[in-house]
Amino acid sequence: MIPLDTHEEFEKLYENNNLIAPVLIYFTADWCGACKRIDWDFIEDEFASLTIYRCNIDKNKYTPGFCQVRTIPNFMMVRPGHKQLEGPFQSSDTAKIATWIQTQLRKGK
């Protein structure tokens, strides 16, 4: 996972949007018990070509509000060439997260 520790990093990703493929933004915090239940080995194996950014809400306090993220864990998808974020999607259930990611990736095709 790539850290998204500042809003400036988010702006480069979202505003400039020079993406060639969708990316996932995962909103979390070190203290989040529900976040620790997610099986990231499964997610990363299942979606090996998907770039995942990790936004720690304690380090990057502005971006979660900008994205209207109110709870964690939470997920959003950024698509190439779009200024609209897909989500937010809130869950700590690995299977539900995988289904949501798959649905979002299908939308982009």
- Is domain 2-93 classified as CATH 1.10.10.10? no
Confidence of residue 86 (pLDDT cuts 50, 70, 90): confident
Cα angle for residues 84, 90, 93 (degrees, 5° grid): 130
Amino acid letter, residue 48: A
CB 46 within 8 A of CB 92: no
> What mean pLDDT value characterizes the chain?
90
For 6-62, give the DSSP string. SHHHHHIIIII---SS-EEEEEE-TT-HHHHTS-HHHHHHHTTT-EEEEEETTT--H
Over the stretch 30-48, which tens digit does the pLDDT of each residue have? 999 999 999 999 999 999 9
- The pTM (predicted TM-score) of the whole model is 0.90
With 60 as the cut, is the pLDDT of residue 109 above it?
no
